[in-house]
Structure 1
Amino acid sequence: MKILLKILFVLTVSIQIHAQERLINGKVSDETGLPIPGVNVVIKGTSTGISTNFDGLYQIKAKDTDVLVFSYIGFIEEERVVGKLNTISITLKADKATLDEVVIMGYGTSERKSITSSISTVSSESVSRTLSGKVGGVSITHSEPQSGQLTASEINDLEKWQGWKNVFKNKDYKTTRNDWGFYLENKVKVVIRDKNGNPCNNIITTLYNDLNVPIMTSRTDIYGEVYLFKGYENNSHNEYYRIQINEGNSIMGKKITNTTESVSFEMGNTNTSNDIDVMFTIDATGSMGDEIAYLKSELKNIINRLDARINEKRVALTFYRDKTDAYLVRDFDFNSNIDEVKNVLSDQSADGGGDYEEAVHEALIASMNKSWNMNAKSKLLFLVLDAPPHLTQENVMIIKEQIKIAQEKGIKIIPIVASGANKTVEFLMRFFSVSTNGTYVFLTDDSGIGNAHLKPTAEDYKIEKLNDLIVRLIEKYSGVIG
């Protein structure tokens, strides 16, 4: 009997192990070896599936016993048993019988009979966009999606402080706060004006505890304002604090209590610089494949629309993946030549990854090390991602150090959270934005593009076009609009 029970136990464990899902990835190409974007990769007999990105790459969770079905209009459907494979790359053959008439739609195509309205119909003799490669001897060129399609919303926790305080009760919030050590419950607003009432920009402002140990240092923005957090490092509480401001040889200070919510200073100097630095730091792992092409189009549109009233607008780009990928970080320093920035952006694609967490800490290190203009009136970092950093003690220390650098340089971090993110991503990114006096942006399902998007823990928010929202924020934090 004991032997029988042991055999049953071993069989049960074997079955459970055999049934475990794992990440399968691969590339789908045509007969010429060129990638095919928009191929449907579905687990047979289920509704679980994914589409290949613009480089023909895909990632999907599957079991040994699953069968992957690869299908695309104009090609012969293929099936592959997962088995013990972790990578399944295939070549689809052109189906000349169904290639006579297709309709171009965004990433891919659809049969004409299933499409209504004014979408244009093209024959196999004139297909000339969307795909990259050749199908049945027909040359096909690549075209990026039209901008203005992605939808998003913003939550400014500093401006909606009561809503942020309500989030404190959330269990996921507390877990993320304790894991990463961001304590942002007790703020003080510092306002600095000159003798004429004009805001003083870029003024170094430091909060000290009652032992004269600095807690946090940051800089005033174009409104002459900065938020500091009394328990930022370790959630400790003191009866008294001191705020000190530095501008050249001028140093001023004021004593405040634990309950002080706002304090103001008057200075004689103002920063008259009209320059801004804008950086886009982008997760380029495979999980971003469902939206990366659209994001590239939106970012190009945003860069084009930076207001003409800004004397010098420099833009930088940082792309990151994860360890063991083709690259860890690929970064491009600030450049005032917008065309060069757009060309760099066009050359990027999503690939790699594998586990959920990505090398966010490496991206922040690279981003902080770029040639930020310390005299710029506005310094903005848009962090585009869908996954959190790896949670290790070392990474916690690295990320907190990079956030500290952002604070000291006066860089506002504005996360843009894409599809597939969980609550850890949301709350950690809201910590990033609040602690650097930024705001939190997230993509929504309203566009119908990409996988499902996380609904935030918030009472209300307005849906906007992503490109309009980002341009609005750049103008707001640069003083172009009120």
Structure 2
Amino acid sequence: MRSHHLLPLLLLCILFLAQCTKEEDTSPAENLMQEASKISYTYPALSTEPMQKASTLTAAEWNDLANWQLWTPQLKLGAGRLVQEKWHFALQHRYTVVLTDSLHKRITDARITLETSQGTLLDESRTDNNGVSYLFLTAPTKPEDLRLKIVYADQVFYIGDLNPQNGRIEKQLNIQRNVSPVMDILFVANTSLATADKLVYLQKELKEIINKTKSQSDSTLHIRLGSIFYGLHAGNSVIRTHPFILQPEPTLLTFTKPYTTVTHSPETIDLALEEAIYRQAWAKNASSRLLFLLLDTPFLQDPGTITRLSSLSREAARQGIRIIPVSMGSMNLSGELLLRSLAIRTNGTYIFVTHPEEGLSNPLSTISTYTDEPLNNLMLRLLVKYSKLN
């Protein structure tokens, strides 16, 4: 495992160019580089024994929800303004809700609605396996004008006059939790030639990852797996779906050979996410619902696609589906910010491949310090983290 920093030479060059400009409003690149120089968060190594062939593909994780003080300034600077002004992701005004039951245990998979005091819907989400939910406002609102509607175990609770401490609301409900043992995992993968070797790698490691997740989690855990492959063939979008299966045979979820006939294909991902979020049989009750979005290249960012992505992320949050983008190629700055926005909106996290010579190759990325680890170990760490209950 290695800790990485952006090349000092690149920083010096960009800072020199920034000093040469005479524009009053600095460019997106300059502003984002200033923020990048302040980031110094790294993720811990996996404590378990490394898996076989782990050195063949490495990756790193960045979680903006855990580094909120670094994310919010970006929304006011340069390209960060696109997140709110053009991409319609309202990700600045965040409420963190933590629910516990009468025994002080975290309540999982409770439906939470943020409303005005008159009942107007503002946002929806579900608590995760740690009893945490994130809700977002399009504009700041007085706490006395807001309330939470919580639905759990066929009971409805209303909490009004919200006064969060540092944006965090902790509530104990007079109820005992009833935890579902189901974890749904769906892989949505771009199958261009550039991702072929990485998908083959995951195919070989997936069985061991799942087995180790079960052994390190609660003995009652039931994992359901599914996959959606999307790409271009003869100029047309193609989507292939493998529905959720409990304890599937290895061959049922094999990553298929790439059917995109070009190395990089910036096709839209909205059709694949629509198939994943609306048309798959996600468990009605689950401890976790995870959607790994694997892609290798920046995607089409026309206004229609971005609007649909914003809407799809809102629906995923409503259903309690965490979107975890996995960048398997050289992602540009706007593509990275879009993927991180999807993760933030759905209580997910962002993963990028770092070897061989992939991942964070864009010097304008705002992730300046990170720790890489074997991709299979990283995925195992996340699955165990998202399966355990407090």
TM-score w.r.t. the length of structure 2 is 0.76
CA distance in 1, matches of 2:359, 2:350: 20
Which residue of structure 2 aligns with residue 376 of structure 1?
286
Contact 1:202 1:220 in 2 (8 A): yes
Q: In structure 2, which of residues 70, 76, 83 is the aligned counterpart of residue 163 of structure 1? A: 70
The amino acid that maps onto 1:173 is G
CA distance in 2, matches of 1:306, 1:454: 33
The amino acid that maps onto 2:319 is K
Percent sequence identity is 27
How far 1:438 moved relative to its partner? 0.9
How far 1:346 moved relative to its partner? 4.3
How far 1:430 moved relative to its partner? 0.6
Which residue of structure 2 aligns with residue 468 of structure 1?
377
The 5 A counterparts of 1:188-207 are 188-207=95-114
Answering whether residue 313 of structure 2 is matched by residue 410 of structure 1, we say no
CA distance in 1, matches of 2:131, 2:235: 43
How far 1:414 moved relative to its partner? 0.8
CA distance in 1, matches of 2:76, 2:311: 27
CA distance in 2, matches of 1:179, 1:146: 43
2:312 aligned counterpart, secondary structure: helix
1:315 aligned counterpart, secondary structure: strand
Q: In structure 2, which of residues 334, 347, 356 is the aligned counterpart of residue 448 of structure 1? A: 356
2:59 aligned counterpart, secondary structure: strand
Post-superposition CA distance 1:176-233 (Å, at most 9, x none): 44332112112111111111100111111011246632121011111111111122xx
The amino acid that maps onto 2:169 is V
CA distance in 2, matches of 1:228, 1:252: 16
Alpha-carbon spacing, 1:197–1:305, altered in 2? closer, same or farther (3 Å): same
2:371 aligned counterpart, secondary structure: coil
1:415 aligned counterpart, secondary structure: strand
Alpha-carbon spacing, 1:479–1:286, altered in 2? closer, same or farther (3 Å): same
Post-superposition CA distance 1:309-368 (Å, at most 9, x none): 35311001011114744652111110123324x444243325235775223001101111
Post-superposition CA distance 1:218-261 (Å, at most 9, x none): 11111111111122xxxx33233222212213322222269861
Contact 2:226 2:253 in 1 (8 A): no
Tell which structure's C-alpha radius of gyration is larger.
Answer: 1
2:113 aligned counterpart, secondary structure: strand
What 5-or-longer segments of structure 1 have no aligned partner?
A: 1-144
CA distance in 1, matches of 2:178, 2:55: 35
1:163 aligned counterpart, secondary structure: helix
Aligned residues: 330
Q: Which structure has the highest helix share of the two?
A: 2
Post-superposition CA distance 1:282-303 (Å, at most 9, x none): 1112342464433433445423
Answering whether residue 166 of structure 2 is matched by residue 256 of structure 1, we say no
The amino acid that maps onto 1:479 is K
CA distance in 1, matches of 2:377, 2:74: 27
Alpha-carbon spacing, 1:453–1:292, altered in 2? closer, same or farther (3 Å): farther
CA distance in 1, matches of 2:267, 2:203: 20
Which residue of structure 2 aligns with residue 433 of structure 1?
343
Contact 2:322 2:348 in 1 (8 A): yes
Contact 1:205 1:217 in 2 (8 A): yes
Contact 1:323 1:359 in 2 (8 A): no
Which residue of structure 1 aligns with residue 254 of structure 2?
345
CA distance in 2, matches of 1:260, 1:322: 46
CA distance in 2, matches of 1:250, 1:470: 35
The amino acid that maps onto 1:237 is P
CA distance in 2, matches of 1:323, 1:428: 25
CA distance in 2, matches of 1:452, 1:199: 36
Alpha-carbon spacing, 1:380–1:262, altered in 2? closer, same or farther (3 Å): same
Contact 1:443 1:453 in 2 (8 A): no
What 5-or-longer segments of structure 2 have no aligned partner?
A: 1-51
Please report the RMSD computed on the Cα atoms of aligned residues, expressed in angstroms.
2.7
Alpha-carbon spacing, 1:469–1:331, altered in 2? closer, same or farther (3 Å): same
The 5 A counterparts of 1:98-177 are 146=53, 148-177=55-84
Alpha-carbon spacing, 1:225–1:469, altered in 2? closer, same or farther (3 Å): same
CA distance in 1, matches of 2:167, 2:257: 45
2:161 aligned counterpart, secondary structure: strand
Which residue of structure 2 aligns with residue 242 of structure 1?
147
Which residue of structure 2 aligns with residue 212 of structure 1?
119
CA distance in 1, matches of 2:80, 2:261: 29
Answering whether residue 94 of structure 2 is matched by residue 187 of structure 1, we say yes
Contact 1:192 1:200 in 2 (8 A): yes
Post-superposition CA distance 1:68-100 (Å, at most 9, x none): xxxxxxxxxxxxxxxxxxxxxxxxxxxxxxxxx
Q: In structure 1, which of residues 268, 272, 282 is the aligned counterpart of residue 189 of structure 2? A: 282
Which residue of structure 1 aligns with residue 25 of structure 2?
none
If asked which structure has higher relative contact order (CA below 8 Å, sep 6+), I would say 2
How far 1:168 moved relative to its partner? 2.8
2:382 aligned counterpart, secondary structure: helix
Alpha-carbon spacing, 1:272–1:355, altered in 2? closer, same or farther (3 Å): closer
Post-superposition CA distance 1:385-420 (Å, at most 9, x none): 123443334323322232122111111111111112
CA distance in 1, matches of 2:132, 2:382: 16
Which residue of structure 2 aligns with residue 40 of structure 1?
none
Which residue of structure 1 aligns with residue 44 of structure 2?
none
Alpha-carbon spacing, 1:265–1:258, altered in 2? closer, same or farther (3 Å): closer
